[in-house]
Structure 1
Amino acid sequence: MAEEMPAGITDGEVMMINTLYINPGRWGEYQAALQEILPQARALEACLVLEAGQVADEPGTVILTERWRSGVEYVTEVLKLPMFEKYLAATEAMYAKPRTVVVLNSL
């Protein structure tokens, strides 16, 4: 599935909070995919912040906090990199329900 751009994305810096709901039976598989993509994504010049954590009292719920130097660059270049296409294609089938994405404006 192609990643759809959430409302609020501009050419300026973009911050997003993604909530992923992972099927319990796929947790180990998801962790492996995440551990593969995180260092690669963090190494990109366009990546300013990329953190992942599991909600303490909700096993299988993952929060990804992202900050990229340009929303347009994120959509047109970063998400089209083979490593992201591979990660998104593999992990989407692991979701218990659709992810939510919240775009934040910097204060």
Structure 2
Amino acid sequence: MNQQAQFGNAQNKPTPANRGSLAVEARISRLESIVGEIGEAVLMTTETIERLTERVDALAVQVQHQGHQIQQQGYQIFALSDAVQTLAEAQHGSVEELEQLTKTLQRLATALESVDH
């Protein structure tokens, strides 16, 4: 056998050094795969957080809008209660005027009856 044939056969057989190198390459490949999976998970998590952030922002806008509506309703309730109070005071004044008018009409009726008799 010539020297090249012997050397070629030696390269094809795994030596302890070759086996160690293959094991390191396998570990590196596995680590690269793990790093890739972690990267994908980070990207998916980032996208999920972005979607959640958009939802929270939308909810914050809704809450702010509802807060403004509640504030406006508070103003409306205050104005309505003020109007009801004004109406009650006006009604009280009207009742007093009606009582005065009733008394005056009763005196007038009494006076007319005394003239007829």
What TM bracket, shorter-length normalisation?
A: under 0.3
- Relative to its length, the structure with more strand (as a share) is 1
Whose RCO is larger (CA < 8 A, sep 6+)? 1
Larger Rg: 2
TM-score normalized with structure 2 length: 0.17
TM-score normalized with structure 1 length: 0.19
